[in-house]
Amino acid sequence: MVDEGTALDNPYVQGFIVPVPAGNQAGYRKAALDMWDIMKDYGAKRVVEAWQDEVPHGKQTDFYRSVKAEDGEIVVFSFIEWESREACDGAHEKMMQDERMKGFEDEKPPFDGKRMVYGSFAPVVELTKQPVGA
């Protein structure tokens, strides 16, 4: 749904999964692109937002349970690449102070952020990247 920026070798990665109303893909995509405009100004190198395609229901745990998805919601998986943890950490406070962030406060978010699951990850293994569709 969104793939902006340039992939890095050995990036520091922030990952997210979030429940989104199934009919709100356009709203989510717009919010993601608006946020990318801010993140890239503070050092983010790439963002990928992936709309649910094939997400099975598990017997004990799954993506739906992790975000307490409700009827009519799907799961979005996304990640942001940074050059380093220091770049990521240094950008956060600056982004929160950016005047453009105030625009998000005035809009109804396209998802329930209280049920978002997120974390930051240092790479251990990175396999050869292949172009999409190759």
The DSSP result for the chain, as a single string, is -EEEE---SS-EEEEEEEEEEGGGHHHHHHHHHHHHHHHHHTT--EEEEEE-SS-PPPSS--HHHHTTPPTTEEEEEEEEEES-HHHHHHHHHHHHH-GGGHHHHHSPPSS-GGG-EEEEE--S--PPP--TT-
Digit-by-digit pLDDT tens for the chain (134 residues) are 899 999 888 899 999 999 999 999 999 999 999 999 999 999 999 999 999 999 999 999 999 999 999 999 999 999 999 999 999 999 998 999 999 988 777 778 889 889 999 999 998 877 666 666 66
pTM for the full predicted model: 0.86
